[in-house]
Structure 1
């Protein structure tokens, strides 16, 4: 039996479980089962809370919490913005941390988290890296020019005119140059709403189209800011699952949004 919690950040949902001593060695099949929306619990991914000293390559961080994030297909992802906020909310709910600011270890590096009022959590996302050249992205035999943005994980963000977002068919993975993204990419499609206000849809590698993507909102805001000739400022980003705030600054991006734990239980593996 495995004790778990179910949580979401703007409807990007996760199965969370605690493994402080690195005792669990769940197989890919078991991780996929946890994310199965019919046979299992259901989620866009799993979040395992483990002390960093038990994770190969991160032992130097000692007893700091490590976010072991897996996509719904059990593939490893370097970082997950919504997942990190849910991870922090889960640790707090379980009494594993208090509400003071805290650093969490991820495969994309150390990420800083702060608890705000209500269910809002703000996290540091590092310094996004924007590729200088455009990247072709294909959907429904249409090719768009996007922007490659690294937010600790790979993204291709496509800016669309008003009215171009809703008609896209994202039931299949968009096409993009595999040589630019050898580990595949998350792809965002972005439409302007108003001043520093955009909406987006996202296709996540290892999952498919999701209601939200935290790193994707940062990539979308960076792409929109770059197109506007800006590198700093605050952007409101509306994925289908809600609203997130992205603050861009020279020292890095910050992502603010809700994180909610909706259920606790046990599951038979």
Structure 2
């Protein structure tokens, strides 16, 4: 039996469980079962809490928590912004952390989380980079220019003309250059909704279209800032699951939004 918690950040949902000493290595089949919305618990991914000293190659503070994030298909992902906030909420409610801000180890490096007075959580997202040249993304036979954005994980961000977002068919994975993304990519479609606000939809690798993607909102803000010429500002980014705030004004981007634990239980693996 595995004790778990189910949480979400702007409807990007995760199955959380702790394994402090790194003894619980679930198989890909078990991870996919946990994320199965009919046969299992259901989620866009799993979040396993492990002490960083059990992570091969990590040489930092061994008592820090490592966020072992897996996509719904059990593939490994370097980083997840919504998942990081849910991970922090899970650690807080389980009594596994007692300070703020707190450092969390991820495959994309150390990230910092802070619990805000209004109940939201702010996390650092590293320094995003954007490629100099556009690439081409295809959706249902139609081609769009996209920017290559790295937020610790790979993204292709498309800034659309007004009125195009709602009608996109994201029932199948968008096409993009395999040589640019050898490990696949998350693809964001972004539409301006004001001077400092964009709406977006996202296809997440290993999952499909999701209600939200934390790193994707940062990629969307970076692409919008590049398209508008306003790089150092705060952006409100609205995926279908809610609203998030991305701040690009500092040396590291930050992402602020909600994180909620909705259920706890045990599951037979």
* TM-score normalised over the length of structure 1: 0.99
Q: Which residue of 2 aligns with 1:268?
A: 268
C-alpha separation in 2, matches of 1:165 and 1:33: 32
C-alpha separation in 2, matches of 1:84 and 1:150: 17
Q: For 1:1-269, what aligned pairs fall within 5 Å after superposition? A: 1-269=1-269
Report the structure, 1 or 2, having the larger strand content.
Answer: 1
Residue 250 (structure 1) shift: 4.2
C-alpha separation in 2, matches of 1:35 and 1:173: 19
**Any conservation in 2 of the 1:160–1:189 contact (CA below 8 Å)?**
yes
C-alpha separation in 1, matches of 2:64 and 2:153: 22
C-alpha separation in 2, matches of 1:232 and 1:60: 31
Residue 231 (structure 1) shift: 1.9
Q: Which runs of at least 4 in structure 1 moved beyond 3 Å after TM superposition?
A: none
Moved more, 228-237 or 195-204: 228-237
**Any conservation in 2 of the 1:145–1:158 contact (CA below 8 Å)?**
yes
Structure 2 unaligned segments of length 5 or more: list them: none
C-alpha separation in 1, matches of 2:101 and 2:63: 16
C-alpha separation in 2, matches of 1:135 and 1:112: 32
Structure 1 unaligned segments of length 5 or more: list them: none
C-alpha separation in 1, matches of 2:59 and 2:66: 10
Name the SS for the 2:37 alignment partner. Answer: coil
Cα RMSD (Å)? 0.8
**Any conservation in 2 of the 1:119–1:260 contact (CA below 8 Å)?**
no
Name the SS for the 1:84 alignment partner. Answer: helix
Name the SS for the 1:162 alignment partner. Answer: coil
